[in-house]
């Protein structure tokens, strides 16, 4: 009995050993031992851009979701931020925030109630190389300039500052438009709106556009140290180019930026005394002199203490001062 018992024990041990070998020999290398979920088939990436692509794979019928890994290493020694065992519902995922002209690798697993599959085959994808062109805009004027590039939006560049746009060099050229004007604290336009625009061919890697205005215009600044507030304001008074701005210039001895106006040999600036029928005026060649240069400006100072009248077409005034500023010189 004892002899027969030993034979039985050895027979059972042998059967168990043979069974274990059969399980190991038939193991599917693409699935984990505890999983009944097949491994997805990874497909080529699509919609490849400079900083993104779409990872694709086949569906597994009993999977609830998929686990995606993306790396710059084929061994997956590192992971792209946000794509380390990322859960995905569906069979595609946008991978973004990438570097241009860089090779990436991705793999995927299926997971569900019946377990998790093994890793899929690794797919490699190279993001696009993009050559950029940089367009710079320098503001030599007295007011902010709104610079718009078609397809690239709008930026504001302050006086004596530069702003830049990053463009795709493959565009070949770009169209820009810059606009500026004087304005009130409420944002209302004062004086003329100056505008510049052009289409520029991209040559090299960058270029700079200088914004300035020629001697056909001048920028007006005013300082009122008189006894009354001034407004409204007329420039090129009683001429075909006359403009009128409903602004108030306080008598606070502060120099205010007003706006851009056309420049003539007989330019005259007139400012009414607020709510009165009197005015102060400044005549080119008498009270101020334009230098006839690019970006020219003039600061007019009002120190009138007595009333100035239109009555009977006569003009009476006290001292009216005019000073000329060099190009790009700021108000004190």
Over residues 97-132, the pLDDT tens digits come to 999 999 999 999 999 999 999 999 999 999 999 899
CA distances to 3, 10, 23, 35 from 14, in Å: 17, 6, 15, 27
Q: Which of 111, 96, 86 is nearest to 45 (CA)?
A: 96
Give the per-residue pLDDT at 176: 98
> Mean pLDDT over all residues of the chain?
84
Give the per-residue pLDDT at 326: 26
Evaluate if residue 71 carries a pLDDT over 50.
yes
Tokens encoding 307: 């009333």
Report pLDDT digits (tens) over 121-163. 999 999 999 899 999 999 999 999 999 999 999 999 999 999 9
Evaluate if residue 26 carries a pLDDT over 60.
no
Calpha distance 64→10 (Å, rounded): 45
Evaluate if residue 261 carries a pLDDT over 70.
yes
Residue 262 burial (CB < 10 Å; 0-12/13-18/19+)? middle
Collapsed DSSP state (helix, strand, coil) of residue 4: helix
Range with lowest mean pLDDT among 125-129, 187-191, 272-276: 272-276
What is the percent of the chain where pLDDT is above 70? 81
Beta strands 206-211 and 132-139: pairing type? parallel
Q: Which of 221, 36, 32 is nearest to 142 (CA)?
A: 221
Range with lowest mean pLDDT among 47-56, 93-102, 199-208, 314-323: 314-323
Q: How many CB atoms lie within 10 A of CB 95?
A: 21
Evaluate if residue 215 carries a pLDDT over 50.
yes
Evaluate if residue 317 carries a pLDDT over 50.
no
Cβ atoms 54, 68 nearer than 8 A: no
DSSP character for 23? H
Q: How far apart are the first and last CA of the chain?
A: 120
Calpha distance 130→102 (Å, rounded): 11
Left, alpha or beta for 2 (phi > 0: left; psi -120 to 50: alpha)?
alpha
Who contacts 179 (Cβ-Cβ below 8 Å, separation ≥6)? 145, 146, 193, 194, 195
Residue 30: pLDDT band with limits 50, 70, 90: very low
Calpha distance 146→135 (Å, rounded): 15
Mean pLDDT of 243-262: 96
Evaluate if residue 219 carries a pLDDT over 50.
yes
């Amino acid at each position: 009995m004892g002899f027969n018992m030993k034979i039985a024990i050895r027979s059972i041990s042998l059967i168990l050993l043979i069974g274990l070998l059969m399980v190991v020999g038939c193991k599917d290398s693409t699935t984990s031992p505890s999983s009944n979920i097949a491994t997805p088939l990874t497909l080529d990436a699509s919609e490849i851009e400079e900083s993104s692509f779409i990872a694709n794979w086949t569906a597994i019928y009993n999977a609830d979701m998929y686990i995606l890994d993306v790396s710059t290493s084929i061994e997956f020694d590192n992971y792209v931020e946000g794509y380390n065992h990322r859960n995905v519902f569906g069979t595609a995922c946008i991978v973004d925030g990438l570097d241009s002209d860089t090779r990436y690798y991705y793999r995927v697993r299926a997971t569900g109630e019946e377990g998790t599959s093994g890793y899929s085959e690794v797919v490699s994808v190279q993001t696009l190389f993009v050559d950029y062109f940089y367009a710079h805009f320098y503001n030599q004027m007295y007011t902010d300039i709104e610079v718009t590039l078609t397809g690239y939006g709008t930026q504001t560049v302050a006086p004596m500052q530069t702003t830049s746009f990053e463009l795709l060099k493959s565009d070949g050229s770009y169209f820009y438009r810059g606009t500026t004007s004087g304005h009130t604290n409420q944002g209302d336009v004062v004086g003329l709106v100056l505008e510049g625009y052009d289409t520029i061919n991209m040559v090299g890697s960058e270029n700079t556009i200088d914004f300035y205005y020629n001697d056909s215009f001048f920028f007006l600044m005013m300082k009122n140290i008189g006894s009354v507030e001034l407004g409204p304001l007329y420039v090129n008074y009683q001429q075909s180019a006359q403009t009128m701005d409903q602004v108030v210039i306080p008598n606070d001895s502060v120099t205010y930026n007003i706006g851009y106006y056309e420049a003539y040999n007989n330019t005259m600036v007139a400012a009414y005394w607020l709510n009165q029928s009197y005015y102060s005026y400044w005549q080119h060649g008498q009270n101020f002199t334009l230098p006839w240069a690019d970006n020219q400006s003039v600061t007019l100072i009002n120190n009138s203490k007595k009333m100035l009248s239109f009555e009977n077409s006569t003009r009476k005034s006290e001292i009216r001062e005019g000073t000329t500023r060099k190009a790009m010189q700021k108000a004190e």
